[in-house]
């Protein structure tokens, strides 16, 4: 059969047929594996975070863009293995100044072997504002109640003041820094918590899109036993001995009972309060002294803080 062909075609015919076969194979390989847009392919859509690039150092985003939906086409085994982190969606604001840019194109970078068929939205609006900062004092809002019998004290915050940074249009709305802490069922001496403050406006609405430095604060709240009011019997402390041949006939205290505030956990054991010592060493007649009350175990007193102690002395009859 080869005899009917010219001589130059008959020479190395087997090699030429092999080369033709390889060329056809390579064409099909390139067409069906390297050009996903022209073959029968699998499609999928992914949500990709949208970033803003090449923004000036003195600018800030008023409302950062969130994400775009990217639809890609390619071989099933490739497309099914794709994740959002394999892509990058961005908007270029190079040389842009403060202001609103209504329709900037979204640029999507993709991994090899797939083709991006659509981006939704393909264009986005971006508002740029001048970057600024200011300081605000952190306030603490306590929620929840400690265990029964315990009361929270005045909280302290460290640091007390934070630096806020962001677009001027949002910064001007920021009026307060608020951090909330929950004391539900706490019974510790000191509650220490780490928390991130929220930036609030005049009406208490949260202002988002502002950065805090530092981002967290330490809150310390003393938790103490609650106080309950109760009457306390005054117990005078008598020190020393009267003179030989004399004896103490009676002791009077005025007032005999005072009002005190007793820690909740000490109510069962605290029913009286002592005076400072009244010295009777060597006395031969009645004695009257002012004595202070000694508040112990967390007891607090209202007036009076001093009482009158009267010592009545009698002479013993000689035998």
In order of 107, 153, 222, 299, the CA distances from 229 in angstroms are 72, 18, 21, 10
Q: Is the pLDDT of residue 189 over 70?
A: no
What is the per-residue pLDDT across 244-290, written as a single tens digit (0 to 9) for each? 999 999 999 999 999 998 988 788 899 999 999 999 999 999 999 99
φ, ψ for residue 19 (rounded to 5)? -65, -40
Q: Specify whether domain 227-315 bears CATH 3.90.740.10.
A: no
Nearest to 99 by CA among 55, 153, 145: 55
Q: Are 129 and 62 in contact (CB under 8 A)?
A: yes
Cβ pair 84, 47 in contact under 8 A? yes
Q: Which tokens is 46 given?
A: 């992914």
Write down the CATH superfamily of domain 131-225: YbbR-like domain (2.170.120.40)
> Cα(25)–Cα(19) distance, rounded to whole angstroms?
10
Q: What is residue 20's predicted lDDT score, i.e. its pLDDT?
A: 64
pLDDT band at 150 (very low <50, low <70, confident <90, very high): confident
Q: How confident is the model at residue 223 (pLDDT cuts 50, 70, 90)?
A: confident
- How far apart CA 313 and CA 250 sit, in angstroms, is 7
What is the CATH architecture assignment of 42-121?
Beta Complex (2.170)
Which pLDDT belongs to residue 34?
A: 53
pLDDT bucket at 178, cuts 50 / 70 / 90 = very high
pLDDT digits (tens, 9 = 90+) for 40-88: 579 999 999 999 999 999 999 898 788 999 999 999 999 999 999 999 9
* 229 or 314: which leads in pLDDT: 314
Bridge-based pairing of strands 257-263 and 227-239 is antiparallel
Record the tokens describing residue 57, joined without a space.
Answer: 């150092």
What DSSP string runs through 48-80?
EEEEEES--TTEEESS---EEEEEEEE-HHHHT
Look at the block and give the residue holding tokens 């076969």: 21
Of the pLDDT bands very low, low, confident and very high (cuts 50, 70, 90), residue 305 is confident
Mean local confidence (pLDDT), 24-52: 69
Q: Using DSSP bridges, classify how beta strands 150-152 and 99-105 pair: parallel, antiparallel or unpaired.
A: unpaired
Is 60 exceeded by the pLDDT of residue 181?
yes
Distance from C-alpha of 279 to C-alpha of 236, rounded to nearest angstrom: 11
**CA 155/CA 180 separation, integer angstroms:** 11
Q: DSSP E strands: which ranges in 144-271?
A: 150-152, 156-158, 161-167, 176-182, 190-195, 198-200, 211-213, 217-225, 227-239, 246-254, 257-263
Closest among 234, 318, 241, 233 to 276, alpha carbons compared: 234
């117990």: which residue's tokens?
235
- Cα 31 to Cα 11, 28, 74, 205, distances in angstroms: 31, 5, 12, 58
pLDDT tens by residue, 8-18: 445 566 665 66
Query: Is 24's pLDDT higher than 80?
Result: no
Which residues lie across from 131 on neighbouring strands?
Answer: 167
Torsion of CA 125, 131, 134, 137, to 10 degrees: 40
Share of the chain above pLDDT 70, in %: 86
- Of 268, 279, 277, 275, the residue nearest 301 (C-alpha): 275
If we measure between CA atoms, which residue out of 227, 167, 169, 174 comes closest to residue 200?
A: 174
The whole-angstrom distance between residue 126's C-alpha and the CA centroid of its chain comes to: 30
Average pLDDT over residues 98-113: 93
| Structural tokens at position 90 | 């961005």
Give the pLDDT confidence score for residue 29 in this predicted structure: 53
What's this model's pTM, rounded to 2 decimal places?
Answer: 0.54
More confident residue, 194 or 36: 194
For residue 32, pLDDT over 80 is answered with: no
Q: What is the average pLDDT across 105-120?
A: 94
The residue ranking higher by pLDDT, 151 or 40, is 151
């Amino acid at each position: 059969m080869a005899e009917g062909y010219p001589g130059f075609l008959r020479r190395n015919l087997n090699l030429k047929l092999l080369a033709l076969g390889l060329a056809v194979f390579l064409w099909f390989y390139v067409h069906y594996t390297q050009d996903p847009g022209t073959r029968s392919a699998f499609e999928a859509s992914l949500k990709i975070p949208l970033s803003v690039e090449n923004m000036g150092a003195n600018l800030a985003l008023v409302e950062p863009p969130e994400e775009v939906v990217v639809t890609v086409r390619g071989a099933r085994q490739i497309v099914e293995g794709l994740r959002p982190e394999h892509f990058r969606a961005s908007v270029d604001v190079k040389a842009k100044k403060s202001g609103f840019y209504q329709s900037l194109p979204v640029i999507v970078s993709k991994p090899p072997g797939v083709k991006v068929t659509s981006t939704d939205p393909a264009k986005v609006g971006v508002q740029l504002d001048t970057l600024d900062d200011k300081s605000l004092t952190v306030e603490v809002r306590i929620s929840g109640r400690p265990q029964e019998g315990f009361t929270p004290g005045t909280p302290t915050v460290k640091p007390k003041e934070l630096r806020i940074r962001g677009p001027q249009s949002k910064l001007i709305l920021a009026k307060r820094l608020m951090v909330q802490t929950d004391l539900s069922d706490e019974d510790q001496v000191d509650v220490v918590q780490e928390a991130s403050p929220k930036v609030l406006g005049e009406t208490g609405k949260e202002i988002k899109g502002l950065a805090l430095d530092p981002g967290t604060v330490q809150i310390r709240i003393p938790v103490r036993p609650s106080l309950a009011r109760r009457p306390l019997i005054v117990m005078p402390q008598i020190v020393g001995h009267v003179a030989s041949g004399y004896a103490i006939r009676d002791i009077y205290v005025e007032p005999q009972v005072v009002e005190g505030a007793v820690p909740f956990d000490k109510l069962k054991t605290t029913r009286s309060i002592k005076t400072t010592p009244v010295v009777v060493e060597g006395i031969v007649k009645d004695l009257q002294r002012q004595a202070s009350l000694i508040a112990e175990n967390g007891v607090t007193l209202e007036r009076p803080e001093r009482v009158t102690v009267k010592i009545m002395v009698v002479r013993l009859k000689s035998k």
